[in-house]
Structure 1
Amino acid sequence: MTDTIDLLLIADTVLTPEVIASASGRSPERTAIAVRDGIIVGIASEAGAHAAGWPAAAAEVLDVGDATVSAGFVDAHIHPIMGLQLTRGLDLSGITEREAVRSTIAAYVPERPADEDWILAWGLDPAAFGGREFGNDLLTGIDGGRKLFITLFDGHSALASAAAIEAAGVRGDEVFSDASALGLDADGRPNGMLYEFSAQDLVLSHVPELTFDDRVQQLADLLGGMAATGIVAGQMLDLMAADSFDLLEELERRQDLPIRLRISPSVFPGFTREDLERHLRFQELAGRRWYVRGVKLMIDGTIDNGTAWLFEPDTKGESTQSIWLDPAEYREAVRFFHEHGIPTTTHAIGDKGIAFVAETLSALPASDVQHRIEHIETLPDEVLDEIIASGAAASMQPTHCTLYTRADHTDNWSQRLGDERADRAWRTRDLRDRGAILTLGSDWPIAPYDPRGVVAAAQLRRPAGREEVEPVRPDQSLSARAAVEGYTSEYWRSVGEPGGRIEPGLPADLTVWALNPLTTDPDAFAESPVILTVVGGRPSVSPASTVDAG
């Protein structure tokens, strides 16, 4: 190689496909990666690189010592722009006891300025209702008569105080174009529960938005935080904010995005032909580090709030229908995009919803378009078979299992399903062993985005660092290799594109870890420092790292 090299990265271990497949999970000798114009152009031993004159040809040489370089980690499922709205105000994440939630809110409300029109909170766990009917009696005596809007942790439902319901003019007889619904008391009056996005928007549309400039800065900070944990890219599965492209364009006017974003805009029930055509036109949009590819659909809601689609009702008699009033309309949308060569990814949580999606995909004409199913939370054997037959990729979030369910089934999700269906939780190992493409992610802001914790949870089936917690279905744990591939090569397979491997000709999107994710105890890896992320051949140094620049 005689041409100029932009970056030469040298490390003790580089996780090339050969090293990943090896028994040791370590490079046999120190390895150099040569990058030009954002592409990997060469890989050699350190000695071989010196013999070939690579260091002299390199504009920048970075020696990361005994660190490990992997292909860049990609979060398959994030909501970075929508999440700016969802994560405003008081963070209730992780609080599950009713009185603890009430005391936290009771302490927060009086601290808010009297002229603050709306008080916001997020991350509310359904366990906080203490087994009672969901409703704003949870707020009785603590909301100060003020307008509160509280998003539940799953993002698919919200709780509004009585004052908020009144201010928004919610009557209780509203009709939606999808299966969104309002919680009602015994007299048919709104009780504050807002199920799914159309219902939430009745109140949320009255909540003042952050300023555009504030959102641009918050987006920069968020994506920078993701990069600091080792993420080089993420798939944004929505287009809920109407000015999403404006935000991205303004951020790129000010700076490069810290990570790449692949955007798959949402298609909702009640679409028109023009809506579908508009989503085709979206596919032409791109910036320096963001681009639109694919679309996102939802077949159901969530088990926790009773809006999933199950073969049999949950223990409360709920989760019996698709979010599409006419599920055939969903099939129409999928076929439209398939025929135009556009990949789809579908939120499907309940067993019947997952089966419906798999059957829809199986019926499509043969092509090279790779479709994907998100979440797959409770999975009977026969539906697993249907996924395999359909050729769909699976996109799953291990921390949804480890943070929000318990092995003894005392959590809301398991109690909603009952023991038999709860024992089918997040069957990552079975899907992988059967040959399904399996990619991993966080679904931020539903769960933390740090991939180190997700990789650990995928192997341990419990939260990282919590050895006292009994694992949930430990037989479904992934190997370290499968977990790492779930954030690298399997992601790119799940979208039908090359990538996620360290080999010549592929993009130089890399993550440099202080500890080797293939050989390090998962609990220890969850705390492992991130040395560098490299996006398009351009390194970003973590503040805690030390790198020898040659």
Structure 2
Amino acid sequence: MSVADLLVVDTTVRTLDPARPTAHAVAVSGDRIVALDDEALELRGAGTEVIDLGGAVTTPGLVDGHMHPLFGAATFYGADLTGCRDLGDLRRSLAKAAPDTDGWVVGWGLDHNVFAGAPPTNAVLEEVLPGRPVFVRLYDGHSALASAEALRVAGVSGPRAFEQRSEVICDVTGAPTGMLLEHAAMALVQDVMPALPDSLLRDRLGASLDAMAATGLTGGCVMDAEAGALELFAGYEESAELPLRLRVAPWCMPGDDVESVLAVQGRRGRRWVVEAVKFFIDGTVEGGTAWLEHPDCHGAGTEAFWRDPAAYTKTVQHLADARVQTVTHAIGDAAVRHVIEALEHVETSGIRHRIEHLETLPRELVPRLVRSGLVSSMQPVHAGFTKADHSDEWSTRLGVERARRAWACRDIRDAGGYLVLGSDWPIATYDARTVLAQARLRRPPGTTDEPVAPAQALTGLMALEGMTSHAAYADGSRDAGRIAVGCRADLTAFNVDPVEAPADELAEAPVRLTVSAGLVTHRGD
């Protein structure tokens, strides 16, 4: 055997391979693991790069199961409003916001709870920035506030009809309040806003992916192809390597030509590939667009994102017949039930279809979900937007009974289901350590907040599996998610043991090394 390109030594390796659970050295050639332990040490040669980890713990490379890297770079920019806790905070942040191109003021990450239960409107935008075109995206990514001037520029003066479940919210007189619900309504204003140049998008994309790699991420499932993502990925690779391997799922919206969605399947670059299709069957709880079996406290949430849910069912079944993986955003209980019913008896031919989010999951649906063969994909970091006492907007909308079902991760695992973990960045932090920690803590790490539904906490091993072996299973990757000879060389090395270390400590622990398909993408101190 030829010498290794890379040799990782003095490390405790959690392989997640039942046949060989631990190791102390890993040899890599190209993008493959070629030897472990003493056999790995024998492959050291003059051209081998040797990385001594000084006792750090190495695991299979972490994968974010649900992310939007370019969509985040292209749309979540301007004033960072994530720290606003009330209208006073929002006023102060808007007053300091610098106008962007053509005088537009853009903000992102605004929490619905800022409005203290009142319907969000653009009144505060008009108060602080009168006459300015302003567009503020709320944290859920499914709603935004637009100022009167922004609406005027976009030609929006009243309600609009959309093929998808989307809405320009209007008052009793028919005048827009500034609240735009779901993608089609937001696009009315976004389409007239100054676009970021491709060169800036490439820079923002690269910076984001570099930062993700520094938290241990080696890959991610990209749940959109918006903002010209495929062209940007291809353009990026003309001069550099993407820091993460990316598996892309373009959107299929109501009314879209399914054949055009199928046509991009298999398109690829060196470190990205299109291999799935993303659907929405509902929206968000806070926006009132989650599809619920019973209305929320405002009487909303009784309709699907697809105005004809049967058309959704027909479309996902068509893709399943074509051996294309489908991933469906389903937050409400009625939404989850419908996706299960649409796919539980479909011949998948080995394709693992997925349900994303499952924020309020009836316990009686869990066995049926697991029997269906569907993979669950959840983001426990989103529980950081809720409170254990149910006083937040998400919980208030749902009511106590449904709020108690929040992110039922442990129920799925205990029932034998596969559970992928992710961040949904830019909706929540991309820091993989925080994702792992919050899956165990059920509260933001480093806080004394009361845990949300603590019985749903995962063990350290379960959390790690959610970003490694279960992520690989979901994607049908037999050569990933574990450290074994012949597998793809995806490695993450921590200063602490991510399984045994206290979760709060893990969230702050340095990542010593990240290797994505043989490419060293991060080196710690």
TM range (shorter): over 0.9
Q: CA deviation at 1:388?
A: 1.6
The match for 2:24 among 31, 37, 40 is 31
Paired residues of 1:149 and 1:160 also in contact (CA < 8 A): yes
Q: Distance in 2 between matches of 1:436 and 1:328?
A: 26
The match for 1:146 among 132, 135, 143 is 132
The 1:270–1:49 alpha-carbon spacing in structure 2 relative to 1, beyond 3 Å, is closer
Tell me the residue number matched to 2:3.
4
Tell me the residue number matched to 1:248.
233
Aligned-partner residue type, residue 528 of structure 1: A
Q: Deviations over 1:369-402 (max 9, x none)?
A: 110000000011222233122110000001101x
More deviation in 213-222 or 9-18?
Answer: 9-18
Tell me the residue number matched to 1:213.
199
The match for 2:181 among 195, 201, 216 is 195
**What is the aligned length?**
524
Tell me the residue number matched to 1:42.
35
Tell me the residue number matched to 2:519.
538
Tell me the residue number matched to 2:13.
14
- Secondary structure in structure 1 of the residue aligned to 2:352: coil
Q: Distance in 1 between matches of 2:234 and 2:414?
A: 42
The match for 2:501 among 520, 528, 543 is 520
Q: CA deviation at 1:366?
A: 5.0
Paired residues of 1:355 and 1:383 also in contact (CA < 8 A): yes
Q: Distance in 2 between matches of 1:121 and 1:183?
A: 19
Aligned-partner residue type, residue 265 of structure 1: P
Q: CA deviation at 1:134?
A: 2.1
Q: Distance in 1 between matches of 2:314 and 2:46?
A: 55
Tell me the residue number matched to 1:436.
417
1:85-484 correspondence runs (5 A): 85-108=74-97, 111-112=98-99, 116-241=102-227, 243-271=228-256, 275-365=257-347, 367-401=349-383, 403-466=384-447, 468-484=448-464
Q: TM-score, normalised by structure 2?
A: 0.97
- Secondary structure in structure 1 of the residue aligned to 2:25: strand
Structure 1 runs not aligned, ≥5 long: 546-550
Q: Distance in 1 between matches of 2:61 and 2:427?
A: 22
Q: CA deviation at 1:57?
A: 7.2
Q: Distance in 2 between matches of 1:457 and 1:244?
A: 30
Paired residues of 2:159 and 2:167 also in contact (CA < 8 A): no
- Secondary structure in structure 2 of the residue aligned to 1:254: coil
Paired residues of 1:179 and 1:325 also in contact (CA < 8 A): yes
Paired residues of 2:159 and 2:169 also in contact (CA < 8 A): no
The match for 1:60 among 30, 37, 49 is 49
- Secondary structure in structure 1 of the residue aligned to 2:465: helix
Q: Distance in 1 between matches of 2:60 and 2:47?
A: 21
The 1:32–1:179 alpha-carbon spacing in structure 2 relative to 1, beyond 3 Å, is same
Paired residues of 2:390 and 2:403 also in contact (CA < 8 A): yes
Tell me the residue number matched to 2:472.
492
Q: Distance in 2 between matches of 1:434 and 1:392?
A: 13
Paired residues of 2:67 and 2:223 also in contact (CA < 8 A): yes
- Secondary structure in structure 2 of the residue aligned to 1:55: coil
- Secondary structure in structure 2 of the residue aligned to 1:81: helix
Aligned-partner residue type, residue 253 of structure 2: F
Q: CA deviation at 1:19?
A: 8.0
Paired residues of 1:11 and 1:68 also in contact (CA < 8 A): no
Q: CA deviation at 1:156?
A: 0.1
Q: CA deviation at 1:11?
A: 2.9
Q: Distance in 2 between matches of 1:158 and 1:366?
A: 37
Q: CA deviation at 1:40?
A: 0.8
Paired residues of 2:355 and 2:374 also in contact (CA < 8 A): yes
Paired residues of 1:425 and 1:473 also in contact (CA < 8 A): yes
Paired residues of 1:301 and 1:349 also in contact (CA < 8 A): yes
More deviation in 424-433 or 359-368?
Answer: 359-368
Tell me the residue number matched to 1:548.
none
RMSD: 1.7
Tell me the residue number matched to 1:75.
64
Paired residues of 1:35 and 1:537 also in contact (CA < 8 A): yes
Q: Deviations over 1:185-223 (max 9, x none)?
A: 121111101000000011111100111111111111111
Q: Distance in 2 between matches of 1:21 and 1:55?
A: 22
Q: Distance in 2 between matches of 1:233 and 1:336?
A: 28
Paired residues of 2:32 and 2:486 also in contact (CA < 8 A): yes
Q: Deviations over 1:93-121 (max 9, x none)?
A: 1322122212221232xx437x7421100
Aligned-partner residue type, residue 451 of structure 1: A
Paired residues of 2:321 and 2:348 also in contact (CA < 8 A): no
**Aligned-residue identity in percent:** 42
More deviation in 502-511 or 358-367?
Answer: 358-367
Structure 2 runs not aligned, ≥5 long: none
Q: Distance in 1 between matches of 2:52 and 2:96?
A: 50
Q: Distance in 1 between matches of 2:253 and 2:499?
A: 40
Q: CA deviation at 1:328?
A: 0.8
Paired residues of 1:86 and 1:155 also in contact (CA < 8 A): no
- Secondary structure in structure 1 of the residue aligned to 2:397: helix
- Secondary structure in structure 2 of the residue aligned to 1:17: coil
Q: Distance in 1 between matches of 2:40 and 2:285?
A: 54
- Secondary structure in structure 1 of the residue aligned to 2:498: coil
The 1:507–1:49 alpha-carbon spacing in structure 2 relative to 1, beyond 3 Å, is closer
Q: TM-score, normalised by structure 1?
A: 0.92
Paired residues of 2:99 and 2:106 also in contact (CA < 8 A): no
Q: CA deviation at 1:8?
A: 1.4
Paired residues of 1:68 and 1:515 also in contact (CA < 8 A): yes
Moved over 4 A (4+): 18-22
Aligned-partner residue type, residue 28 of structure 2: V
- Secondary structure in structure 2 of the residue aligned to 1:158: strand
Paired residues of 2:169 and 2:178 also in contact (CA < 8 A): yes
